[in-house]
Structure 1
Amino acid sequence: MQFELMASMMCADYGNLEKEVKELTAGGIDSFHIDIMDGRYVPNFAMSLNDMKYIAKESPKPLDVHMMIEHPNNRIDLFLSNLRKEDTVYIHPEAEYHPSTTLQSIINAGMIPGIAINPGTSVETVMEMLRIVKKVLVMSVNPGNAGQMYLPYVGRKITKLLALKEDMDFEIYWDGACSADKIIEFAPKGVKGFVLGTTLLFGKDKPYGETLNNIRELKF
């Protein structure tokens, strides 16, 4: 079964970032998930524009840029000018007065538009945006911090989205508390990709390539 694996780079060893990026690339990661946090929309600071540019320079793999900032439209051009056509940009609809304007900027720049849906955000409130995005990032934890526990009610939200995607042109991705049992449960249902953090990928005493191969060989 084919599904995408994205490395949550806020969990990487920043003292050895070049080594981390090169080993993940050689190990077969599909893309790098870049969490941009401003300490306002979420109660934490994480990666920056310079981090994003550095990873793009060190690896040909696509970037998955998750904008957890207030009013992303005020800064979106700065990020878009440093991205490639195969890169994705997710925004949180609640963070913007007119999120469709920001999504259109992403589309006009030639990048892949996406929205991130928080645990407390209903599918119904983002219905119209589902018609213009290519990716939907479902947060299975509240945004802002790594290492949180999975919120079980998010599974019902994914079920709703899976039914809608049959008539729309988007794919569903999982972000937060991603464990092997969640991949086994949701990949066969149609979830396209999974953001990997400390639960499955980082902080293990084995090469990234071995870890990624083990995940891809999970029994369904």
Structure 2
Amino acid sequence: MSRHSLMVDAVKRGKYSKLFEYLIARQGDEWSTNFQELEALLGFALPNSARIYRPWWANDNRNGHSQSMAWTVAGWKTTAVDLNNETLTFRKVKDMDVTAPAKPISDTSNRSVAPKMDDFREELKAHLMWGKLQQMSSVVIKAGDLHRSVGGYPTPFNRMTMCCNAMYQEQRGEDRVIERPNKGYGATLTIEYQLPRG
């Protein structure tokens, strides 16, 4: 049995099977919805983390998160996640590779201003909080991925130095730099942050 077949089987038996079946059957390439409509479809309330942390909506099926497996295995991705208004859009992906790396947490392709230091700090802390909620012992974050989550990368609002500074400032004694660019700043900067944070 292929990996994809195993994933489909797991999703069909999982908590978010109704969302999977709905997306498989849905016509069109886009579905704009809200959290209340999703809860009505699922038959239960979304967890608090879905309303607080954008990483909950990440298009990542590599770590066995049942919610993201439901839409990615069905061939869809989340975009335009708005936690304040509790809305989002599902968009069909043509020939989606279910083994692909995680996509950005939210669709920030329409960013009209350059990100600020607080944007990077907030996104970084969201990743760390997500790891804590998943009871992980550490979270590995790469600057390029973090910047894509915030938006403005690689153009036109590239603030990679600021992004790396935010990562360095969060670093503590027990954390480990896995990869450091030659000049210390760049998309390949990768830091493993230990959890929980002290």
TM-score by length of 1: 0.27
Q: Which has the higher contact order (CA 8 A, sep 6+)?
A: 1
